[in-house]
Amino acid sequence: MGQFRLLSFSTKVTTKEDFNFYLDLEETKKLLLQLKHWPTIKEALVLSVPERTEILYYSSEVLDDAIYSAIVAIKAKDNFPAANLFQHSCNEERSLTHLSELCFGVQSSTYGSVPLFPHFVAAFSTASQCGMTGDLLEQWWNHLVSTNNAIKNEVSFQFPNFSISYTVTDMVTELIRKVKTPKIAIVGFNALGKRVYQNLTQKGFNKITIVESSITSFSTLQGEELKNFIFEPFDQTKNVLQENDIVISTLEDLEPVFSQELETPDLSSPKVLIDLSLKGDFLAWLNHHELVISFELADIYQIIENKMDINKRWLKKAKPLIAQRNAVFFDWMDKKKGLNMLDQANDLLNKHSFGDQYFTKVMNNDNLKVKKSLTSSLMNKQLLKKSIEKIRSASPYKDMINYERMVNDFYLYN
């Protein structure tokens, strides 16, 4: 019999950004296909996002070190993080509870966290394609899907993230809901501006204008992010304001940026200005314009505070609901394993004929070579003694049990 075991890694355990176990889709498939050829692993699931990697596998043996070595070989990186950064768990219920809390964003005890349900959908699909899902994982996945539906039906809306960049992205999404082709600009591409840009890109917004002094600050962008922006220098700020519907500024100080004093631009249509700076210089420059709808950093913080209050109430309802449904699944899993053990026991106790004699697998798995002249009781006695010798050699209680008496009592009783 086996059990679920979990290897868990979170970037929170280290301050070094390169120290991560993130596996992309191809690397995940490579790992799963390797695990498929390990005879002791029956089922496996790999969930990997930049912030964490979770590897759940069902096996009769602890294979954490072997799996770590397989990841190292797949990543082929120098200065790879040590194995002790992985957290290991052989407690099935604790492991599956941890994963379900990640899935639905209830891991934090106060406000909740970002739900990873979409990533679980992708992870299970990949595991299924690689042939690593069986009865237990299939049932657990059905349990997660039904729990997700129950949360939607019985608990009010959840706000999964409280960062400024995420909140601004949500604001933009709501503000331009009725605009077919919204035009968005970001003035200042510092760390905050980059996060806002990345979140907008993930939300599906295209061709975002970025105003910056030079293009060198875009060198850290990767993949689709490199193709989704239009660069404009600072001297084109007035034109950017006129051409875009929403302008997001992260500039803390306008004076070093603009070579000359900017005049208030002539705007022909309403514009939404979101100023994320502490000083609010950009907002002060345009706030008096009648066509400008403005939001400052204090407004963003007020939205975040409201979200946090909503999530407190959400978490009080959602977490007990998830725990109740997990208990139902754990009960099913215990019964399933009990039936599997019973089937194995019945298989071991099936009688196999040997001429006119019978012996059971549970006593001896080898085919015995006996003479026909041996009586039935003698043959069974030999088998019983041989089985008891095996028990004696492995039992921690061998000094407390009189095995010869057990044999004699067996024949006296029968």
Each residue's pLDDT tens digit, 321-350 = 899 999 999 999 888 888 877 777 666 655
The structure tokens listed for 29 are 């498939």
Confidence of residue 40 (pLDDT cuts 50, 70, 90): very high
The structure tokens listed for 286 are 């345009």
39 within 8 A of 63, measured Cβ to Cβ: no
Question: CA-to-CA distance for 386 and 364, rounded, in angstroms?
Answer: 8
Lowest mean pLDDT among 54-58, 108-112, 233-237: 108-112
Class of domain 3-154+311-339: alpha beta
The residue-averaged pLDDT of 189-214 equals 86
Residue 369 pLDDT > 50, yes or no? no
Give percent above pLDDT 90 in the chain: 21
292 within 8 A of 271, measured Cβ to Cβ: yes
- Determine the pLDDT at residue 128: 94
Residue 410 vs residue 149, higher pLDDT: 149
Residue 84 pLDDT > 60, yes or no? yes
Q: Which residues contact 273 (CB under 8 A, 6 or more apart)?
A: 246, 247, 249, 282, 283, 286, 287, 292, 293, 294, 295
According to CATH, what is the number of the domain 164-295? 3.40.50.720
Give the containing element (helix H, strand E) for 3: strand 3-10
Confidence of residue 201 (pLDDT cuts 50, 70, 90): confident
pLDDT (tens digit per residue) in 281-307 = 666 676 666 777 777 777 777 766 766
What are φ and ψ of residue 324, in 5° steps?
Answer: -65, -45
First to last CA, the chain: 33
Question: CA-to-CA distance for 150 and 137, rounded, in angstroms?
Answer: 20
Confidence of residue 238 (pLDDT cuts 50, 70, 90): confident
Lowest mean pLDDT among 3-12, 250-259, 387-396: 387-396
- Determine the pLDDT at residue 292: 74
Closest CA to 384 of 403, 412, 367: 403
The structure tokens listed for 414 are 């029968």
Any idea where the domains of the chain sit in the sequence?
3-154+311-339, 164-295, 351-413
Q: Where are the beta strands (DSSP E) in 152-196?
A: 184-187
Task: Name, of 131-135, 259-263, 363-367, the range with top average pLDDT.
Answer: 131-135
Residue 189 pLDDT > 50, yes or no? yes
- Determine the pLDDT at residue 326: 93
The 8 Å CB, 24+ separation contacts for 138-143 are 139/329, 139/332, 139/333, 139/336, 140/96, 140/329, 140/333, 143/325, 143/326, 143/328, 143/329
Question: CA-to-CA distance for 125 and 64, rounded, in angstroms?
Answer: 23
Lowest mean pLDDT among 34-38, 43-47, 166-170, 345-349: 345-349
Give the containing element (helix H, strand E) for 275: strand 271-275
| Helices vs strands, H then E, count in the chain | 12, 12
Q: Is the pTM of this model over 0.85?
A: no
Residue 371 pLDDT > 50, yes or no? no
Residue 13 pLDDT > 60, yes or no? no
- Determine the pLDDT at residue 46: 95
Residue 397 pLDDT > 50, yes or no? no
Q: Same CATH topology for 3-154+311-339 and 164-295? A: no
The residue-averaged pLDDT of 190-211 equals 86
Sheet with 184-187: strands ordered across: 229-232, 208-211, 184-187, 246-249, 271-275, 292-295
The residue-averaged pLDDT of 102-126 equals 79
Lowest mean pLDDT among 226-230, 381-385, 389-393: 389-393
The residue-averaged pLDDT of 304-315 equals 71
Residue 98 pLDDT > 80, yes or no? yes
pLDDT (tens digit per residue) in 139-187 = 999 999 999 888 888 766 555 555 666 667 766 776 666 556 778 899 8
Identify the residue whose tokens are 């051409």. Answer: 243
How high is the mean pLDDT of the chain?
76
- Determine the pLDDT at residue 342: 73
